[in-house]
Amino acid sequence: MLQNLTKGQLCQGVENLRAHEFASLEQCLYYFLAGESAKRMKRFPIAITPACASSSSKTDIFRLGIPHPIASVPPNYLSRQPVNIKFNQITLQHFELNEFLKDVAIHGYMELSWMDDRLQWSRDTWKMEKLQIQSLNHVWIPLFIAQNYDTHLKNGDAFEMRRVETTSSGNVSAVLAFSLRTFCDDSDFENYPDDVYKCCFSLEPQANPDIIEFDASGLPIFTDPKYFRDYGWKVSGTVPQALEDPAQVAQQSRC
């Protein structure tokens, strides 16, 4: 199939493929990239210590290569450069304010992007600009936690990564759906008798915090015109910001 496509024009090849043919081409491209990544990683051994070994014994077993490296290790494994996660846009779809408990739950999604040079390919060869990732197990994705890690399960915080795709330059984009809860500060009496609740949220990387950096787009938080309801409240928010101190864990915050 690839040989036939490279002989034809772009518009006569990929765009005219049937759905199942295009899906097969996407699978071929992905497994080609995964295979190339595995070849590059073969020269990096991993030290594995058996569970039965004591801490003082030196019984590490060295295994050549990393299994499925395109998904199991972050993009900077070879370059050792920080992985920059950019928050392009945050959209709020729904919120639930509990005035008695003074907490709020918000639901929405974030549009994220990051670079992964293992997902780069030649457009001239493959005649494709974008690749839809069919399974989250196929590529490395960042994991997040919100607020205090010790209480995030009790709060019901949840994340779900959706619509992951990459371009031929290795620019990976995804939509991160979220459901978060936090306590609010109601000590602002400047607008009395109106109640003012200040509710802040922060995100941190759950895995690989030492290599991940956050970058904010500078855009305000958007509301979904189809689903958002204010329930009589005047809702306003700060522009999301990213902590830029390299000595600390990356953090993205907003109120």
Q: What is the pLDDT of residue 163?
A: 93
Give the span between the Cα atoms of 141 and 133, in whole angstroms: 11
Is a pLDDT exceeding 90 seen at residue 185?
A: no
Give the span between the Cα atoms of 83 and 114, in whole angstroms: 7
Share of the chain above pLDDT 90, in %: 16
Of 17, 33, 37, 34, the closest CA to residue 25 belongs to 17
Lowest pLDDT segment from 35-39, 76-80, 151-155, 159-163: 151-155
E strand intervals along the chain? 46-48, 61-63, 83-98, 103-120, 130-132, 144-146, 158-167, 169-185, 198-199, 201-205, 212-216, 222-223, 241-242, 252-254
Q: What separation in angstroms does the CA of 176 have from each of 72, 101, 102?
A: 20, 28, 26
Q: What separation in angstroms does the CA of 49 have from each of 45, 46, 55, 63, 72?
A: 13, 10, 9, 11, 18
CB contact set of 10 (below 8 Å; sequence gap of 6+): 127
Q: What is the pLDDT of residue 246?
A: 56
Give the span between the Cα atoms of 64 and 70, in whole angstroms: 16
Domain boundaries, the chain: 69-251
Q: Which CATH architecture has domain 69-251?
A: Distorted Sandwich (2.70)
Digit-coded pLDDT (tens) for 70-89: 888 888 777 778 899 999 99
C-beta of residue 157 within 8 angstroms of C-beta of residue 144 = no
Structure tokens at 244: 């830029």
Is a pLDDT exceeding 90 seen at residue 173?
A: yes
* Region label for 114, one of left (φ > 0), alpha (ψ between -120 and 50) or beta (otherwise): beta
Three-class HEC string of 36-82: HHHHHHCCCCEEECCCCCCCCCCCCEEECCCCCHHHHCCHHHCCCCC
Count Cβ atoms within 10 A of the Cβ of residue 131 and give its class: 0-12 exposed, 13-18 middle, 19 or more buried.
Answer: buried
What's the gap between Cα 203 and its chain centre?
Answer: 12
Q: What is the pLDDT of residue 70?
A: 86
C-beta of residue 199 within 8 angstroms of C-beta of residue 139 = no
Q: What is the pLDDT of residue 210?
A: 83
Lowest pLDDT segment from 12-16, 73-77, 197-201, 234-238: 12-16
